[in-house]
Structure 1
Amino acid sequence: MGGVSATEHAARTPHVPKQDRSRVTRQRLLAAAVACLAEHGWAGSTVSVVAERAGVSRGAAQHHFPTREDLFTAAVEYVAEERSTALRDLFPDGPADRRAVVAALVGLYTGPLFRAALHLWVAASNEDQLRARVTELEARVGRESHRIAVDLLGADESRPGVRETVQGLLDMARGLGLANLLTDDTARRERVVAQWGTIVEETLG
């Protein structure tokens, strides 16, 4: 039985550019880091654990992210971008029904992505190497979340009380996300979200 030559093998095997492979590996590491943070917290989320979960070597992980802090800060930034994209994809035509937007914003803070971010915040409060970069990251994420909320709600922040209402909505959503970490808070959350929908409608006019 004849073998397959290298030339024939190359012709049959789709070529994946090195740049694309590198991007796929990076995405796998980020997704694994988010999952590890959400499930095990900072203490249980080492580079080795993340690399094993992503199916890559520790060396490959450190090639993309030289330090543990680099890896997990990038992971939460990736989460923030994914959350922003998901929210915009729910309302591709821009300003939408305000009650639906309120519910969608709250939804961003009640899943595993928020849980992962929370673990990083807690770690940053105790880890000097993390604190500065997480503080800067969260400030940027907060500005982006506020801007998206204003756009989707069709809010005119030049009117009295509108900016504070949008910020209060985001603070409320974050608080509901925290409550949801300890217990299933669905029933109470639905009542609070409905009330905030009314508040937003009345304030924004």
Structure 2
Amino acid sequence: MSTTAEHGPVPRERDRAPKQDRSRATRQRLLEAAVACLAEHGWAGSTVAVVAERAGVSRGAAQHHFPTREDLFTAAVEYVAEERSTALRALFPAGPGDRRAVVAALVDLYTGPLFRAALHLWVAASNEDQLRAPVTELEARVGRETHRIAVELLGADESRPGARETVQGFLDMARGLGLANLLTDDTTRRERVVAQWADLLDTALG
């Protein structure tokens, strides 16, 4: 380690980088654990201690990154939003497939763990003032991006009368299927609904 007479030891970049990498990795594990805990246990069961245990870090380490529970789950809101946006963008990297495949893929996004975690965040935000503003803001952002990507993947021309409302109605329906799936395995009915909506979109969007 290099030194100076006036200021003492000066850490080398190669010494500092591994520490920063470990810090980022710990933060990532905490966010992933927070999302998983929300999906499995809801807001009430997702304390900092529970999240820290799942992430495999001490509660002190968790509080170093996120001093309060609100800090942790506000960051989890952002993380969930980013992951949902990433999942959307990754649906058809080579371009949209046939419309039924697009409809099925978009519906599937509303039945997975990210949507389940987001739902618990919505419920928590309705009762927690500290979460309401960031959840509302980020949901609006994700909603806009979801609509934009759905329009692109469905090949919708929003200059046509009713096209925008049709796409938004489909996304609202997909969200409803995701809610229904929380209580029971709705796979069979969901497949029939997906087929029907693919036909409806073909008619409405051309």
TM-score when normalising by structure 1: 0.87
| d(CA) in 2 for partners of 1:196, 1:145 | 17
Q: 1:28 offset after TM fit, Å?
A: 0.5
Report if the CA contact (8 A) 2:107-2:177 is conserved: yes
Deviations 1:84-112 (A, max 9, x none): 32233231123332111110110011122
Deviations 1:141-179 (A, max 9, x none): 111111111121222111111111111111001000000
Does 2:148 correspond to 1:153?
no
User: 1:1-205 counterparts in 2 under 5 A?
Assistant: 17-205=18-206
Report if the CA contact (8 A) 2:88-2:146 is conserved: no
| d(CA) in 2 for partners of 1:150, 1:190 | 21
SS at match of 1:182: coil
TM-score when normalising by structure 2: 0.86
Higher normalized contact order (CA 8 Å, seq sep 6+, divided by chain length) = 1
Report if the CA contact (8 A) 1:94-1:151 is conserved: no
What root-mean-square deviation, in Å, do the aligned CA atoms of Structure 1 and Structure 2 show?
A: 1.8
Report if the CA contact (8 A) 2:43-2:124 is conserved: yes
* Structure 1 unmatched runs, 5+: 1-14
Report if the CA contact (8 A) 2:81-2:139 is conserved: no
Identity over aligned pairs, percent: 88
Q: 1:74 offset after TM fit, Å?
A: 2.1
Q: Which amino acid aligns with 2:88?
A: L
Q: Which amino acid aligns with 1:112?
A: P
| d(CA) in 2 for partners of 1:126, 1:94 | 40
User: What is the aligned length?
Assistant: 192
Q: 1:186 offset after TM fit, Å?
A: 1.0
Other-structure match for 2:11 = none
